[in-house]
A and B are shown apart, each in its own frame.
Chain A
Amino acid sequence: AQSVAQPEDQVNVAEGNPLTVKCTYSVSGNPYLFWYVQYPNRGLQFLLKYITGDNLVKGSYGFEAEFNKSQTSFHLKKPSALVSDSALYFCAVRDTNAGKSTFGDGTTLTVKP
């Protein structure tokens, strides 16, 4: 079985400050890990993924995430937040042997000017 947890429903940061959105996962095999962003009344947009290789993954809009196998985490980060980053963020995990992904409950990021 696979699962993913986003422990924070809401993250608030000031514009220009670094942001972190947390994600931990559980899989029986090797994980594929993804981050998506959703703006109001829209579908999900792909941000970045970890399949294999470097633990630090860089994605769209200046976001990055670090795969930490020992802590089973894949936190999303950005050095300097923008107001336009305010949205709902989903972490997803898929076991390499699984056909479908499991999504977290989502974290609402609010960046204030």
Chain B
Amino acid sequence: GAVVSQHPSWVICKSGTSVKIECRSLDFQATTMFWYRQFPKQSLMLMATSNEGSKATYEQGVEKDKFLINHASLTLSTLTVTSAHPEDSSFYICSARLRRGETQYFGPGTRLLVL
């Protein structure tokens, strides 16, 4: 199957700093990438959908100025958590999809801990 990577796999930061998470599709070109947040033992919460070359579409309740998403190329999307606070601590997962109807392939996730 297709491979999606995320970097870093985990990060610890101080409150008030910004953290960037990268999501890469390694062997296919992803026209659409998704960013999810997952709390312990819970389902995935879609944060935003990004299409290459256009602005991300954020889900209701997700602050776009807080969670900056850039999908600059067909193989790379980044999520920047700006001015992180402890409540932003979570497991962030990206996924990538080639076309509508195609399978979403997920990255391994990034564990963020804000102190």
Q: Which residues of A contact B (CB under 8 A)?
A: 32, 34, 36, 41-46, 49, 51, 90, 92, 94, 96, 99-101, 103-106, 108
A-B contact count (CB 8 A): 50
Once A32-B101, A34-B103, A41-B109 are accepted as A-B contacts, the answer to whether A46 and B43 lie under 8 Å apart by CB is no
**Residues B100 and A99 in contact, CB atoms below 8 Å apart:** yes
**Residues A105 and B42 in contact, CB atoms below 8 Å apart:** yes
Chain B interface extent, by class: 20 to 34
Chain B interface mostly: strand
Q: Which residues of B contact A (CB under 8 A)?
A: 1, 4, 6, 32, 34, 41-44, 46, 49, 91, 93, 95, 100-101, 103-109, 111
Measured in the bound complex, the distance between the Cα atoms of B107 and A44 in whole Å is 7
**Residues B93 and A44 in contact, CB atoms below 8 Å apart:** yes
**Residues A43 and B43 in contact, CB atoms below 8 Å apart:** no
Instruction: Write the chain A residue with the least CB distance to B34.
Output: A100
User: Beyond A32-B101, A43-B6, A105-B43: 19 further Cβ-contacts under 8 Å?
Assistant: A34-B103, A41-B91, A41-B111, A43-B93, A43-B95, A43-B107, A44-B44, A44-B93, A44-B95, A44-B106, A46-B1, A46-B103, A46-B104, A90-B43, A96-B101, A99-B100, A103-B44, A106-B41, A108-B41
